[in-house]
Amino acid sequence: MSESEKFGQLCALVKETAYLKSTLASLEWDQQTYMPVGAGAFRAEQITFLAGEIHRRETDQRVGDLLGELSSSDLAADNQSDSGATITGLKREYDKKIKLPESLVKAQAKASAIGQQVWIDARKNDDFKSFEPNLNEIFNLKKEQAEAVGYEECPYDALLDDFEPHAKTSEVAAALEGLRQELVPLVAAISESSSRPDTSVLKRNYPTEAQRRFGREASEKIGFDYTRGRLDVTHHPFCTELGPGDVRITTRFDESFFNTSFFGTLHEAGHGIYEQGLRTDFYGLPPGAFCSLGIHESQSRLWENLVGRSEGFWNFFYTRAVEIFPGALADVQQHDFYKAINNVQPSLIRVEADEATYDLHIIIRFQIEQAIINGELEIADLPGAWNEKYEQYLGITPPDDANGCLQDIHWSAGLVGYFPTYSLGNLHASQMYEAAEKELGNLQGMFSDGNFSPLRKWLNENVHQRGQTLTAQQLGEKVSGTKLSQEALMRHLNDKLAPIYALSPI
Amino acid sequence: MSESEKFGQLCALVKETAYLKSTLASLEWDQQTYMPVGAGAFRAEQITFLAGEIHRRETDQRVGDLLGELSSSDLAADNQSDSGATITGLKREYDKKIKLPESLVKAQAKASAIGQQVWIDARKNDDFKSFEPNLNEIFNLKKEQAEAVGYEECPYDALLDDFEPHAKTSEVAAALEGLRQELVPLVAAISESSSRPDTSVLKRNYPTEAQRRFGREASEKIGFDYTRGRLDVTHHPFCTELGPGDVRITTRFDESFFNTSFFGTLHEAGHGIYEQGLRTDFYGLPPGAFCSLGIHESQSRLWENLVGRSEGFWNFFYTRAVEIFPGALADVQQHDFYKAINNVQPSLIRVEADEATYDLHIIIRFQIEQAIINGELEIADLPGAWNEKYEQYLGITPPDDANGCLQDIHWSAGLVGYFPTYSLGNLHASQMYEAAEKELGNLQGMFSDGNFSPLRKWLNENVHQRGQTLTAQQLGEKVSGTKLSQEALMRHLNDKLAPIYALSPI
């Protein structure tokens, strides 16, 4: 068999696995949207079965043999070519997966299934103690995983790699520490400012149907393609890809708060535009797959914040907003609305945080999970460490654990190493936005005219279409011409917030 | 390995296949309900892949070996025991499937995929000639299938068996011929009657949201469990089972015609109540599977017609109907409404046919497909034969093929041998209803009080819970104590229609 025949066979095998993965995603989407409550037990069995089939295929000896033969071939010579990215990307994943003992995979699946159940009650009852043994087991299994997979510098590297491949903890920590050092004084200055936007206008009555219409119009206008996607309602908003022409986003509505659904929809649409922009000729393979969770998040945060909370965006959309919500907005000036949606206020809950404080929530989690994995922090001491950091970075102390260290689902679901990708996304987004503006000219002017396609096309060409032919770090540097740092994000925040809060130039 | 271990292994293998089948059903449900249009091409690939995986598992040598060893064991001794029904039922299906050459299975899949596309255009353009070559190929492949699988009396037996296992063409033909001989004069007498219900009341404005509410209320009241099911909107209504606690029915709305959605919903709810009533301890195995399509249809027709179009049903529901549709029904007497929903009128389109003419539509199709399979009718002569039979049995002649032999999707999809199960369902339904009344007492009185659970429970015990431990014929005879014939159905039709149309007693 020739090398190119072997390559074809490898791609065909992986494509079959991709059919099963998108099938599994369909079942999960349905579970969140339309599944009747009585179907839960069977759906869990069905999903477990499919997950097992997928794992069996991913660790199939035939795949391993083909990868072994191909990885020294000409086709693998250039990592950034389609064939090279495919072979090295698949081999990297394969080598990682076969290092995981089946007993560990099963123990993790079980621990997180039970963990999530216990966590739900623990949060409801503000009872950290009841969750402590589960969390302890989950983190211990994560440590085992790190040892099984191996790492260069520290165990956390191995966990981070599941979400941000190729990233090193030390590099991420350096970037986020740079960010923290500038964010803390900015947030403190804002807290002390006597200027305060009137956010009560966002808490008037916004009827659900009108919100649905407006969210759909705006997400379509920025480029989410509804012939290849849908918007549905779920308790927790998300974006999932069920096939190359099938990207589903969800939102939730709060009739007495404008932001929840509108900015949530722009956020998920940003994820969706990325998924819709991936190459279909390599569907299910590295050149047609998203680069990393950090890059994924860069796309959602870019459309949500850098576009959706900008003056240009509302120059175009505000008249329509007043038309759709006359009861809430008829007496509100555009600039007052703009200030309200950009309000900064230290708060306890990450998912409700504003653009400036959000990354401090992330940095706290990132530091804490590293400390646990390194053995520097015991699970029993987690609530104390959490509250201390909130006081230190945000100037507020959680009154209880439900609004503190129990607020997020991630750890209970075994997602350790995931949090920093949110902040990496914010850093990438600002750098990309600056690079796009440098090349395309005045973006705010385009937005004011309702012209979002130049930015979307630029992102498509420079980010989406590159898939995994570059690592996230390579992609970020290629797109922005600079290493990842806090500089672009801080420029953006200072430029936007200084006038709103009458801050002295920093 | 002991026999019972082998049996456990067999059931486990088949249960895994059931996970994949219900997964496939989920993808198909989504395709009809919520899938974005751009996802069609990938979904088709995905479904083809899963269908192939299912076929591979169903014809797996391990399954064949276990069945071979178990079929002579004690566990298989009693066909009507759970283990016996499981082993003999699975062996029967397995033996049939391995007789089909893969080339034939693929050729059929391709012919019906193309056939359906060509048929859509042919019907739209009323162009039978364009569809003739495809239909010819589809029927030729069906003849090949019959020869590959084998049969006792005639090739049509082998095709009928896919939908109505164990049924013989000669027996079905005898039952339907008995029905035809009594239906034709009844329909002729009604056509000549000077009494005519005023059906215009059904064609007033029935707002969609009100229809949705009423259909949901009525279907829930008769026993469709919405904690283990859903009602959605599709172009073609259907019922599908996605798991033991997950039965999905669909409807479509016509704002200017009451019947379409309401009776369609009762019909699909009848299918759904059957699926929800199956045993869950043998999910995916013969004791927990529906008996035959004829028995399935008996449940839908029973709830739609024998219950939903009865006086007792409307004694309970009419006040509510007037409340929900005041604009349409405030000035309509219950008895006039009752007569309108039971109107009999020979018409061209099967899916719009009333309770009395419906089976004549079926009998025509059943006779024609037998004639084609037997080589007595050429595809080219199909339109002529069709129109002749409509004139003969219903007294009307289709003006074109779009309203004639091109109206149904079945043949284009390769479903040959399916049609007679609709009429078998009608015959079974009437016999079951009479048997239930004999045991439970006055059902109409119960319906008048909104009490539908005695009938539902009786059906659950006597039909649903028996799964495939009996053949359809055995089940019908056990339930009704009599052989399948037209007698009960004709009694029902004569009793109902004679007063409405002032017919002399027949």
pLDDT for the residue numbered B504: 80
Average pLDDT, integer, range A476-491: 97
Residue A232's DSSP bridge partners are: A250
Which residue is catalytic, options A268, A275, A304, A369?
A: A268
Phi, psi angles (nearest 5°) of residue A333: -75, 145
Interchain proximity A46–B23, CB inside 8 Å: yes
Question: How many angstroms separate the CA atoms of B344 and B196, rounded?
Answer: 9
User: Which one of A234, A246, A280 makes the best mutation probe of the B interface by having the most chain B beta carbons within 10 Å?
Assistant: A246
Residues of A with CB below 8 A from B23's CB? Answer: 23, 27, 46, 50
CA dihedral B94, B99, B105, B106 (to 10 degrees): 110
Residues of A with CB below 8 A from B37's CB? Answer: 227
Check whether B188 has a pLDDT greater than 90. yes
CA dihedral A411, A413, A418, A422 (to 10 degrees): -90
Average pLDDT, integer, range A1-20: 96
Question: How many angstroms separate the CA atoms of B403 and B386, rounded?
Answer: 11
Q: Which residues contact A72 (CB under 8 A, 6 or more apart)?
A: none
Q: Which residues contact A212 (CB under 8 A, 6 or more apart)?
A: A231, A253, A261
Average pLDDT, integer, range B43-62: 94
3-state SS of B400-463 is CCCCCCCCCCCHHHCCCCCCHHHHHHHHHHHHHHHHHHHHHCCHHHHHHCCCCHHHHHHHHHHC
CB-CB contact of A146 with A162 (8 Å): no
User: Considering just the CA atoms, what is the radius of gyration of chain A in Å?
Assistant: 23
Phi, psi angles (nearest 5°) of residue A242: -105, 10
Average pLDDT, integer, range B8-25: 97
Check whether B104 has a pLDDT greater than 90. yes
pLDDT for the residue numbered B505: 63
pLDDT for the residue numbered A193: 94
Residues of A with CB below 8 A from B50's CB? Answer: 19, 23
- CA distances (Å), A193 to each of A497, A501, B64, in order? 11, 6, 78
pLDDT for the residue numbered A506: 55
Residue B240's DSSP bridge partners are: B248
Q: What is the pLDDT of residues B243-282, one digit of tens each?
A: 999 999 999 999 999 999 999 999 999 999 999 999 999 9
Q: What is the pLDDT of residues A334-349, one digit of tens each?
A: 999 999 999 999 999 9
Interchain proximity B38–A225, CB inside 8 Å: yes
Return the residue matching tokens 């305060």. Answer: A196
The pLDDT-based confidence of B180 (bands split at 50, 70, 90) is very high
**Cα A363 from chain centroid (whole Å):** 15
- The ipTM (two decimal places) reads 0.93
Q: What is the pLDDT of residues A80-91, one digit of tens each?
A: 999 999 999 999
Minimal-distance CA residue of chain A relative to B232: A34
CB-CB contact of B84 with B74 (8 Å): no
Q: For chain A, give the longest Cα–Cα distance.
A: 74
The pLDDT-based confidence of A238 (bands split at 50, 70, 90) is very high
Q: Which residues contact A255 (CB under 8 A, 6 or more apart)?
A: A205, A206, A207, A208, A211
Q: What is the pLDDT of residues B409-446, one digit of tens each?
A: 999 999 999 999 999 999 999 999 999 999 999 999 99
The pLDDT-based confidence of A453 (bands split at 50, 70, 90) is very high
Residues of B with CB below 8 A from A35's CB? Answer: 246
Average pLDDT, integer, range B224-228: 98
Interchain proximity B34–A34, CB inside 8 Å: yes
Question: How many angstroms separate the CA atoms of A105 and A102, rounded?
Answer: 5
Question: How many angstroms separate the CA atoms of B208 and A349, rounded?
Answer: 42
The pLDDT-based confidence of B82 (bands split at 50, 70, 90) is very high
> What is the pTM for the complete model shown?
0.94
The pLDDT-based confidence of A504 (bands split at 50, 70, 90) is confident
Q: Within 13 Å and on the Cβ side, how many CA atoms surround A278?
A: 32
Minimal-distance CA residue of chain A relative to B241: A39
Q: What is the pLDDT of residues B384-404, one digit of tens each?
A: 999 999 999 999 999 999 999
Question: How many angstroms separate the CA atoms of B265 and B190, rounded?
Answer: 27
- Nearest partner of A31 among A224, A242, A292, judged by Cα: A242
Distance from CA of B145 to the nearest CA of A (A): 29
- For residue B233, the SS3 value is strand
The pLDDT-based confidence of B478 (bands split at 50, 70, 90) is very high
End-to-end CA distance of chain A: 64
With a pLDDT cut of 90, the percent of chain A lying above it is 97
Question: How many angstroms separate the CA atoms of B334 and B317, rounded?
Answer: 10
